[in-house]
């Protein structure tokens, strides 16, 4: 896969238009069998979906995370959030994540696959970490969603540290948490599509105008 060299220095301006993200009306919390069936049907009909997870943060030295506590999956116009707990049925989630046909894309997925395997016995298949594929040859580490949104959309992605480090194991998530989680998966899909278009434009033969 070819990389896109992102000019990080030019993407730091606070004057960029704020990225709006997905609307709460298009976010579904998968907390029942009927919603799990709906999510399975919609997500499995796609070719690629956005993917991310959230975990309750650990603060004590030596404390082991019990996450993920939430799994987020998104199509172009909808996000499905799967709460994880011993009481939750994960058959639909397992089928989606283990599908070798369905591409899952996201940012910073280094620990997600191992955490899902160790805690839930889910072997995530066909996973693409955008943070790795978008980095340029002179860039170490991974590219984050903020840099990617600025580069591809010319917008500023706002991410609340307070919300990001909130209690994701809470059975009653706030609207702010729902939107934060949904956008993590949804923006990854939109960035992926923009990246694919960029590659296609770059690789297509130039039009002969003579």
Catalogue the E-assigned strands of 27-102: 27-29, 48-54, 70-74, 79-83
Angle between helices 145-153 and 175-203 (to 10 degrees): 50
Please give the pLDDT value at position 1.
Answer: 40
Superfamily of domain 8-198: Ribonuclease H-like superfamily/Ribonuclease H (3.30.420.10)
Using pLDDT thresholds of 50, 70 and 90, give the confidence band for residue 14: low
Please give the pLDDT value at position 9.
Answer: 44
Which range is most confident: 1-10, 71-80, 126-135, 161-170?
A: 71-80
Percent of the chain with pLDDT over 70: 84
Question: Tens digits of per-residue pLDDT, 73-113?
Answer: 999 999 999 999 888 899 999 999 999 999 999 998 988 99
Would you list the domain boundaries of the chain? 8-198
The answer to whether residue 203 scores a pLDDT higher than 90 is: no
- Compute the mean pLDDT over every residue in the chain, rounded to the nearest whole number: 88
Please give the pLDDT value at position 56.
Answer: 85
The Cα-based distances of 84 to 29, 63, 94, 162, 192 in angstroms read 11, 19, 12, 21, 26
Phi, psi of 131 (to 5 degrees): -60, -30
- Spatial distance between the Cα atoms of 47 and 38, rounded to a whole number of angstroms: 17
């Amino acid at each position: 896969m070819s990389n896109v060299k992102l000019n990080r220095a030019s993407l730091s301006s606070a004057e960029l238009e704020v990225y709006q993200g997905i609307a709460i009306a298009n976010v579904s919390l998968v907390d029942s069998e009927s919603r799990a069936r709906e999510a399975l049907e919609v997500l499995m009909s796609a070719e690629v979906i956005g993917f991310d997870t959230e975990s309750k943060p650990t603060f004590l030295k030596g404390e082991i995370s019990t996450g993920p506590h939430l799994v987020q999956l998104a199509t172009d116009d909808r996000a499905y959030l799967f709460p994880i707990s011993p009481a939750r049925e994960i058959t639909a989630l397992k089928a989606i994540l283990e599908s070798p046909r369905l591409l899952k894309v996201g940012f910073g997925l280094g620990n997600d696959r191992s955490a899902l395997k160790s805690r839930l016995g889910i072997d995530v298949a066909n996973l693409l970490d955008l943070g790795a594929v978008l980095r340029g040859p002179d860039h170490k580490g991974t590219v984050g969603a903020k840099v990617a949104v600025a580069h591809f959309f010319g917008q500023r992605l706002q991410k609340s540290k307070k919300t990001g480090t909130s209690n994701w194991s809470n059975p009653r998530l706030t609207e702010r948490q729902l939107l934060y989680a949904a956008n993590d998966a949804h923006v990854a899909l939109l960035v992926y599509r923009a990246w694919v278009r960029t590659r296609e434009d770059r690789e297509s033969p130039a039009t002969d105008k003579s």
